[in-house]
Structure formats: C-alpha cells, structure tokens
Amino acid sequence: MLQPFRFFGGRFPHTPHTLPIMTHIQTDGSFYEGSKSGGVVALIQFPNDHMRGFTYSLNKLQCHTEAEWASVYFGLELARREDQGMIGLENDCLRVIRSIIFNSTGNHEYERYYHNKIKEIAADMDWCGIRWAPRRTKRADELLQ
C-alpha cells in the first residue's frame, strides 16, 4: 500500500483529506557510469485519466542520484507547461524524497540546484505533494527501456 502524498509546496496547503482531484506524475532517472550520461522520464496521468509519457536525455551527470533529482524537476516542469496546478509526484529514490520533504538542500551542487528549482516550481502551483513508490509499482520505468 502506498503512503499518502506529503505536501512540499504550493499556495494551498490542504490536508490530504481535502485535496481535489490532482495530476499524478511518476518520474525516474537512469545513469550510465561509462559515459556519465543518462535520461529522465515522466509519466503524467491527468485528472481525466489520459496518460502521457515524456523522456529526455542528459549528459555530464555525476551519479544516479543526480538523474533522479533531474527526473523530479523534469516532471514538475512538464506539469507546469501543461498548466496543472494540483500535483502528486512519485519517485523511487528515497534520498531525493526525504530531501524534498524535509527541505534539505544536500551537500552537492547539483542537489542544491535541483532542490531550489523544484521548490521554485512548487511555490507557483496550487498544491504539490510527493511520496516514495517502490519500483515495482511504477509504470514510468517502462519508458526508460
């Protein structure tokens, strides 16, 4: 069973019991050690149950965790471009999820960069929540293969 989304940004900090219908986003990142490249994916399920998948290639990554940070940013940026204001985001990188929930910017430059960009986007939305989801429950991974 998945946990409820944890609020991390937005203009209306509703409790989980009073949330209106929201856009659901699953994100994931991949990293290839040899080339220091990777990619990100976001699977967006709109309130009308229509789904769209997006992928984007990345170069010059430091590690897998950077790809996961980039995937969360990518998912939120796509939601903003699609004019979605109520967001529930899932990712399987517990380190990233904890950093966002507990507002911890991390030790690496890329963590601080993505943390700030994510918070900036979330502040412009109505409501943003995030939760950890085990890999086996995520359909976004299929887009990376």
In the chain, the number of structural domains is 1
Q: What is the token pair recorded at 56?
A: 């984007």
Smallest CA-to-CA distance from 72 within 16, 7, 130 is with 130
Q: Is 40 within the bounds of a domain?
A: yes
For the chain, percent of residues with pLDDT exceeding 70: 88
In 33-74, which ranges are E strands?
37-45, 51-58
The answer on pLDDT for 144 being more than 60 is: no
Where does the pLDDT of residue 101 fall: very low under 50, low under 70, confident under 90, or very high at 90 and above?
very high
Print the domain residue range for 60. Answer: 6-11+22-144
- DSSP strand pairing (23-32 vs 37-45): antiparallel
CATH number at residue 74: 3.30.420.10
Where does the pLDDT of residue 26 fall: very low under 50, low under 70, confident under 90, or very high at 90 and above?
very high
Q: Is 26 within the bounds of a domain?
A: yes
Q: What is the pLDDT of residues 32-86, one digit of tens each?
A: 999 999 999 999 999 998 999 999 999 999 999 999 999 999 999 999 999 999 9
Q: Is 51 within the bounds of a domain?
A: yes
pTM (predicted TM-score): 0.90
Average pLDDT, the chain: 90
Q: Is 16 within the bounds of a domain?
A: no
Q: Is 17 within the bounds of a domain?
A: no
